[in-house]
Amino acid sequence: MSAEQETAADGFTYTLTRTLDVPVAAVWRAWTTADQYARWTGAAEGTVEMDVRPGGAWKATMVTPDGQQFPLTGSYIEVETDRRLVTGMDVPGRAEPATMVLDLAALDGGRTEATLSQTCDTAEERDMAEQGSTMLLDGLTAFLAGASED
């Protein structure tokens, strides 16, 4: 599995792009199926719930390498199967959810270009979100590499 990544930051927005050696449908399933999502994101067992449709809710409890747990909740804002997923994440003390966009594009040879982007309120928030999204893409890349070898 090869994965290329480009990063672009503009103000408080970041965009990460990876090329994955699997078809779009495999990337979509990994991102929108609770059991697969839990396996590559580091979520606590049994905590991922997904109602993948506009207005549907999601939740997961993420576990850090040192064992700390962080419950996350949010909603799906836009869902275009195998193409685009816009999720909102509830942030304590913030009226509007933080919004992250995943765009998928099919490439020649059964590969997929996955692009994650987010606009944040501050440079610090952007840097933290970009670090988290890079970790997500790293986990996704490793998961899909293992799945394609099965």
pLDDT at 149: 58
Q: Please count the structural domains in the chain.
A: 1
The CATH number for 9's domain is: 3.30.530.20
pLDDT digits (tens, 9 = 90+) for 47-59: 999 999 999 999 9
What 3-state class would DSSP assign to 68? Answer: coil
Tell me which residue range forms the domain holding 25. 4-149
- CA 101 from centre of chain: 8
Q: 10 Å Cβ neighbour count for 123?
A: 11
Q: Are 141 and 47 in contact (CB under 8 A)?
A: no
Please determine, for residue 110, whether its predicted confidence score (pLDDT) is greater than 60: yes
Question: What tens digit of pLDDT does each residue of 58-85 get?
Answer: 999 988 888 899 899 999 999 999 999 9
- Return the DSSP state at 120: -
Q: What is the mean pLDDT of residues 14-42?
A: 95
